[in-house]
Amino acid sequence: MSYVGPDFEPPRPRRSRRPLTVALAALVPGALLGWLVYQAVGGSDGSAAAGGASTPPAASSASAGRSTPPTGSPDSASPDSASPRSSPGDDGKPTAAAPGATGSEPLAGKVVVIDPGHNSGNFRHTAEINRKVDIGTGRKECDTTGTATDDGYPEAQFTLDVSHRLRTLLEQQGATVKLTHDRDEPPWGPCVDERARIGNTAHADAAISIHADGSATGNRGFHVILPGSVHAGGADTRPIVAPSRDLGERIAGNFVRATGSAPANYVGGGTGLVTRADLGGLNLSTVPKVFIECGNMRDSKDAARLTSGAWRQKAAEGISEGIVSFLRG
């Protein structure tokens, strides 16, 4: 998701269950979570500097500071006009779905909703995705096309691939998993309000929206976006702010360990956590939900990771482990 408006600027032409790891991700304080876990595992390339490209506004009483969207964000931006290209490092094969739960798996009875950011068909439906929808605090575009790497690997393709991998891992743990959209169904969107509604209707125990950023070159790393405290219009996030923060902290800690990525060096002050109140997918959710920006598609080093199938599997594992930790308490 790039920072241009709340959703993205147009592109340019082990399953690990180590108890100590899960415990660490759950206990590290939110403000230091990204760095402490990152240092604990020995680090990797890409340092996370405090401060960043955007200056965060004042923090809400329930959570950390909210950052001003750089050039695009999970709910809106200028539509993309270029058609998606094939993914470098993508084997082109969907991840096989896991067998049905038997009732004895650790997540049996739990429901997880995965929201693959954007849709590869959005660029063909600019009128539809530019339609404004109510997000509680105002009106925003229904959806956006998302960003892309400089070589043309679309964010929408990345998010769907990671979502398929994540679904398989969670189903293997016994969870019931629903995607807000899959491949060409629907052919565009759905709108950000509908994405939230899908999780609400499913009574999800946890929901996550998968994204990748489109920020400036040199801006590196991941960040997890938490819902701010919103009570306006049809939005009331107050009941989900605390559990969503818990979910986000656990995902961030496990993402560091699984992928070797550092927290973003341009938002979140090095914590890997950002709070926002301008995203319809979060504002309208009534279930614990976060967004994750897995890296910056416009930075060549991050792009090399995002276009690697092996790395995307690690990303799915880190996200899965965070969700499992949250759902198991």
Residue 19: pLDDT band by 50, 70, 90 thresholds? very low
Radius of gyration of the chain (CA): 17
pLDDT, position 184? 81
Q: Is the separation of the CB atoms in 129 and 77 below 8 Å?
A: no
Pairwise CA distance, residues 88 & 308, whole Å: 7
Pairwise CA distance, residues 154 & 117, whole Å: 11
pLDDT, position 35? 45
Q: In the beta sheet, which residues pair with residue 139?
A: 134
Residue 95 within a domain: no
Please give the backbone phi and psi of residue 33, each rounded to the nearest 5 degrees, phi first. -50, -55
pLDDT, position 246? 98
Query: 24-33 b/e with 16+ CB inside 10 Å = b?
Result: bbbebebeeb
pLDDT, position 314? 98
Q: In the beta sheet, which residues pair with residue 293?
A: 211, 223
Is the confidence at residue 283, as pLDDT, over 50? yes
Q: Region 184-193: what's the mean pLDDT? A: 95
Is the confidence at residue 219, as pLDDT, over 90? yes
Q: In the beta sheet, which residues pair with residue 132?
A: 141
Is the confidence at residue 276, as pLDDT, over 50? yes
pLDDT, position 180? 98
Per DSSP, 49 falls in state: -
Residue 112 is part of which domain span? Answer: 19-81+107-328
pLDDT, position 183? 87
Pairwise CA distance, residues 150 & 299, whole Å: 8
pLDDT, position 290? 98
Angle at which helices 19-27 and 309-328 pack, to 10 degrees?
A: 70
Please measure the distance between the N-terminal and C-terminal CA atoms of the chain and give it in whole angstroms: 30
> In this prediction, what percent of the chain has a pLDDT beyond 90?
67
Output 263 or 51, whichever has higher pLDDT. 263
Flag the least confident range among 71-85, 189-203, 249-263, 272-286: 71-85
Q: What angle do CA 299, 302, 308 make, to 5 degrees?
A: 130
pLDDT, position 256? 98
Residue 88 within a domain: no
The tens digit of pLDDT for each residue in 70-96 reads 333 334 333 333 333 334 445 444 444
Is the confidence at residue 7, as pLDDT, over 90? no
Q: Region 50-75: what's the mean pLDDT? A: 34
Residue 156 within a domain: yes
Q: How far is CA 191 from CA 10, 158, 178, 278, in A?
A: 17, 19, 16, 15
**Prediction pTM value:** 0.74
Is the confidence at residue 200, as pLDDT, over 80? yes
Residue 149 within a domain: yes
> In this prediction, what percent of the chain has a pLDDT beyond 70?
69
Q: Which residue has the tokens 């559990």?
A: 243
What percent of the residues of the chain are helix, what percent strand, and what percent coil, each to the nearest 5? 35, 15, 50
In the chain, how many domains are there? 1
Is the confidence at residue 120, as pLDDT, over 70? yes
The tens digit of pLDDT for each residue in 146-180 reads 999 999 999 999 999 999 999 999 999 999 999 99
Residue 206 within a domain: yes
List the CATH number of the domain containing 184. Answer: 3.40.630.40
The set of catalytic residues is 293
Token code pair at residue 99:
């067998």
pLDDT, position 1? 62
Output 5 or 239, whichever has higher pLDDT. 239
Output 88 or 48, whichever has higher pLDDT. 88
The tens digit of pLDDT for each residue in 220-262 reads 999 999 999 999 999 999 999 999 999 999 999 999 999 999 9
Residue 92 within a domain: no
pLDDT, position 239? 98
Q: Is the separation of the CB atoms in 147 and 9 below 8 Å?
A: yes
Residue 9 within a domain: no
Pairwise CA distance, residues 155 & 153, whole Å: 7
pLDDT, position 95? 46
Flag the least confident range among 42-51, 280-289, 291-300: 42-51
Residue 128 within a domain: yes
